[in-house]
């Protein structure tokens, strides 16, 4: 049993188990944003991929199928964190 397999098996036994985010490398530069929740974002219009890094960790989350018009809406939202929670989280497939 490899270390990763053991880690997942062990964590599933704990009562507070949450899937560990998969570390991905953004295909575009990341840019700092003014948000109390989100630290950096990046967008690749060619592949329609959105990348988000939160202040709470080093993991970059990637989402696929994110249209450029939607990215502009995200950038222009009064609150990036609120837009993420209401319009992105759970509504787009994650990159792995």
Q: DSSP code of 59?
A: P
- For 4, 44, 67, the CA distances from 27, given in Å and listed in that order, are 25, 7, 16
Q: What is the pLDDT of residue 2?
A: 40
Task: Kindly report the pTM of this predicted structure.
Answer: 0.74
Provide the residue ranges of all domains of the chain, joining segments of one domain with +: 22-88
Closest CA to 81 of 35, 48, 30: 35
Q: Which residues of the chain have pLDDT under 50?
A: 1-15, 17, 19
Task: State the DSSP H helix or E strand holding residue 49, giving kind and residue range, or none if neither.
Answer: strand 49-54
Q: What is the pLDDT of residue 90?
A: 94
């Amino acid at each position: 049993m490899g270390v990763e397999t053991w880690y997942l098996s062990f964590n599933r036994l704990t009562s507070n188990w949450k899937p560990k985010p998969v570390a991905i490398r953004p295909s575009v530069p990341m840019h700092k944003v003014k948000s109390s929740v989100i630290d950096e974002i990046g967008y690749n219009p060619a592949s329609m991929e959105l990348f988000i890094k939160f202040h709470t960790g080093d993991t970059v989350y990637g989402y696929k199928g994110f249209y450029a018009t939607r990215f502009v809406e995200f950038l222009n939202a009064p609150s990036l964190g609120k837009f993420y929670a209401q319009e992105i989280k759970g509504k787009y497939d994650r990159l792995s």
